[in-house]
Structure 1
Amino acid sequence: MFKLEGCSRVFNMNNLGFVGGRFMANAEGVKEHRKKRLKRIRLGLFFIIMALILFGVKNYYDYLMEPVASENIKRIEIEIPSGSTTKTIAGILKKNDLIKNREFFVLISKINKNDGHFKAGKYSLNNGMALKEIIDSLIKGGASSRETVSITIPEGYEIKQIAEKLSELENFNKENFIRLVSSDDNYRDEYEFLKQVPKGLGLEGYLFPNTYEIYVDSTEDDIIRKMLDEFNKIYIKYIKGQELYKDFTLNDLIAMASIIERETRLDEERAVVSSVFYNRLEIDMKLGSCATVQYVLGERKSHLSIADTKIESPYNTYINKGLPIGPIASPGLKSIQAALNPDDTDYLYFVLTDYDKGKHTFTDNYNEFLRAKNAAKNQ
């Protein structure tokens, strides 16, 4: 024991040893804490990496399950020889651009126990079929190779025009088709996008325009579901999760796209036309779309009368501000994309000035618009 000068406290060397022991214990505790913390960090990183891997695998799985094409659907005739293995069938499908990956087809077939159940024969398929549809067709055999007919529904067609076009099919019942599409009640629970459409509007705008391969004995319901399936592909790939203009709903977006579709036939003008209508919405100006009045009239008039533009209807954008209550036709993908991404312009007016080419003149000045309009009339 010793005493420090100027300090009344007496220190015992044994006490120093005790304190040192406690310091050593604390150091060991800190070391152990760091080890546990490092372990937690490594575990967290492991789960993050696994989540990213699973996310990537899921996305790749979904990609491989999707059709090869979403536009310009082509009918493809193939023949599966008798005794073909799943691997051979996968090669035939890949060679004809009907699937994206041969090994994935073989793997999915084995997982779902379809291996060995595919039937030989001639098949009429198309590159817009999802992988599951192709597998189901090959399992059904004769059903998939039954007679089909190709029919094209142009962009901008209204339901009644679609019905007229489908009337070219031998067994098509136009009245039943109109009855089914006049209400979404039969399909709302099956399609996520239809749950966002106000009840009572029917399916106008949601029967996607495309070229379809349809079995000659298809029912009207079969055809409607095929067209809704096609819209659903577009919805999932291009629309779902996108930020829409202000308080736009899906129904507003498709209504806007349908107006764009009907106002111009040139792809290079769609985003410009889109900008005109969005600019009008921004300043609370009526859209004044001739296409909406034509929809009310039920006919395509090249020039509207003053009386035409005053017809009372929730679809008439000459007398009502904002969008019509629903789509006026079935827009194609280019018009949907234009409604999602309008050009950045100051234009408020446009007028058709080249009838042969379908070109419009755009301006932000009303007097310029009138001059262009008068000049076009005198051509």
Structure 2
Amino acid sequence: MTDLFEAETASTTSLDMRRLQRRQRRATRRKWTLVASAVALVVLALGSSVAYSFVKSLSPSESAVADYTGAGSGSIQVVVEAGDTGADIAQTLYDAGVIASTEAFIVAWNQNPDSSSISAGYYFMQREMQASLALDQLLNPDYRDVRTLTVIEGKTLDTYYQKIADLTEYSLDDVKAAAADSAAIGLPAEANGNLEGWLFPSTYTFNPGVTPTDVLSKMVSTTVEVLDRNGVAPEDYERILTVASLVEREAGTDEDRPMIAGVIYNRLAIDMPLQLDSTVHYFAPSDSVFTSDADRAIDNPYNTYLYTGLPPGPIAAPGEASIQAAVNPTQHDYLYFVTVNLTTKETRYAVTYADHLKNVQLLQDWYAANGG
């Protein structure tokens, strides 16, 4: 019995010892795990700090970069090219002596949400400008160096040629020579080499050094854009421009444009001469609003008193309202129209020639009463 109890006691003691040893080992492992975790956190913190410092070193700091103060002085012209990034513009300004450092401009660029809207072109700047002020100046169209051309509706090529010569400082002969190169100015084949009516009336801006070919190309491409926008097929370009030019020269108000286009199409449908004074004035210019019997008797393909159908081409440059009228004329039965008041541009329409003559009398009465 004694041996039995002694063996059991010894066995229990050994078991307790092993349990104690396991606890000690676990405690040791936990201690080293905590030490390793602490070391890892220290390393991570140091790494993050180094990484942050590295990234920060790549970004311009407002307090660390060189920058001028004030709006600068003197005058210099800089060029922003199409597709230039903020860094490209910064380098251009720095090279020109406008800003003290590219970094200062990039800081201003990143802080201004409008920066990306800077347009390509030539700009008037000052030397030694504060970067943020230089950016503001590039965003202000008043500081852009442009050449502006405004051409109005209803004029012929000679008028536009002279305006282009004045704008570009090229001679009138140079402009005409450029206009004769249909391929260089992008004149569509449908025009058959006839530029009349293809120089869209609008206001255009160009950079310094613009050439007649540049201007003519832009005006022609704008005409194509307007025709396409209004659903005109390429094969109908010349016909629509011709009708629109007649509307442009005859209509006194926007309301009359589709009405007059309707009269033109009604006459064409029955092969009736258009009998438009505007076409006679095209080949026989006059200050009078009327045409003479002698003018209407001149044998000219543009004489719509002698020849049926449309004239060979446009007689002027139509605006978009007239193009829209030529595309979407008012549907009616009128074959005649006449402007009876040259001040208000009131226009009367008639189905029969007898009624038309009554309207013509209204014009003659107005003309007599107003010093005609």
Give me the TM-score of the superposition, normalised by structure 1: 0.59
Paired residues for 1:65-144 under 5 Å: 82-83=105-106, 91-92=114-115, 122-123=137-138
The answer for unaligned runs of 5 or more in structure 1 is 1-80, 99-118, 127-143, 243-247
Q: Cα distance, 1:258 vs. partner?
A: 0.5
The structure number with the bigger radius of gyration is 2
Summarize the Cα distance change of 1:347–1:227 in structure 2 as closer, same or farther, 3 Å threshold.
same
Q: Do the aligned residues in 2 keep the contact of 1:294 with 1:301 (CA within 8 Å)?
A: no
Q: Do the aligned residues in 2 keep the contact of 1:262 with 1:291 (CA within 8 Å)?
A: yes
Count of residue correspondences: 250
Mapped to 1, the partners of 2:202 and 2:217 lie a distance apart of: 13
Mapped to 1, the partners of 2:356 and 2:111 lie a distance apart of: 63
Question: Which residue number in structure 1 is paired with residue 308 of structure 2?
Answer: 321
Question: Which residue number in structure 2 is paired with residue 207 of structure 1?
Answer: 199
Which amino acid letter does the alignment assign opposite residue 155 of structure 2?
Y
Q: Cα distance, 1:164 vs. partner?
A: 2.9
Is 1:273 the counterpart of 2:260? The answer is: yes
Is 1:196 the counterpart of 2:172? The answer is: no
Instruction: Give SS of 2:303's match.
Output: coil
Instruction: Give SS of 1:362's match.
Output: strand
Is 1:164 the counterpart of 2:162? The answer is: yes
Q: Do the aligned residues in 2 keep the contact of 1:124 with 1:148 (CA within 8 Å)?
A: no
Mapped to 2, the partners of 1:186 and 1:176 lie a distance apart of: 14
Question: Which residue number in structure 2 is paired with residue 296 of structure 1?
Answer: 283
Q: 2:228 aligns with which of 232, 236, 246?
A: 236
Question: Which residue number in structure 2 is paired with residue 357 of structure 1?
Answer: 344
Q: Cα distance, 1:241 vs. partner?
A: 4.3
Q: Cα distance, 1:367 vs. partner?
A: 1.1
Mapped to 2, the partners of 1:146 and 1:326 lie a distance apart of: 39
Is 1:180 the counterpart of 2:178? The answer is: yes
Instruction: Give SS of 1:186's match.
Output: helix
Question: Which residue number in structure 2 is paired with residue 347 of structure 1?
Answer: 334
Is 1:150 the counterpart of 2:148? The answer is: yes
Instruction: Give SS of 1:378's match.
Output: helix
Question: Which residue number in structure 2 is paired with residue 330 of structure 1?
Answer: 317
The answer for unaligned runs of 5 or more in structure 2 is 1-103, 120-133, 367-372
Question: Which residue number in structure 2 is paired with residue 282 of structure 1?
Answer: 269
Q: From the two aligned structures, give the one with the greater helix fraction.
A: 2
Question: Which residue number in structure 1 is paired with residue 46 of structure 2?
Answer: none
Q: Do the aligned residues in 1 keep the contact of 2:109 with 2:115 (CA within 8 Å)?
A: no
Mapped to 1, the partners of 2:297 and 2:340 lie a distance apart of: 25
Summarize the Cα distance change of 1:295–1:183 in structure 2 as closer, same or farther, 3 Å threshold.
farther
Q: Cα distance, 1:173 vs. partner?
A: 2.2
The percent of aligned pairs where both chains have the same amino acid is 29
Summarize the Cα distance change of 1:310–1:87 in structure 2 as closer, same or farther, 3 Å threshold.
farther
CA RMSD of aligned residues (A): 3.0
Give me the TM-score of the superposition, normalised by structure 2: 0.60
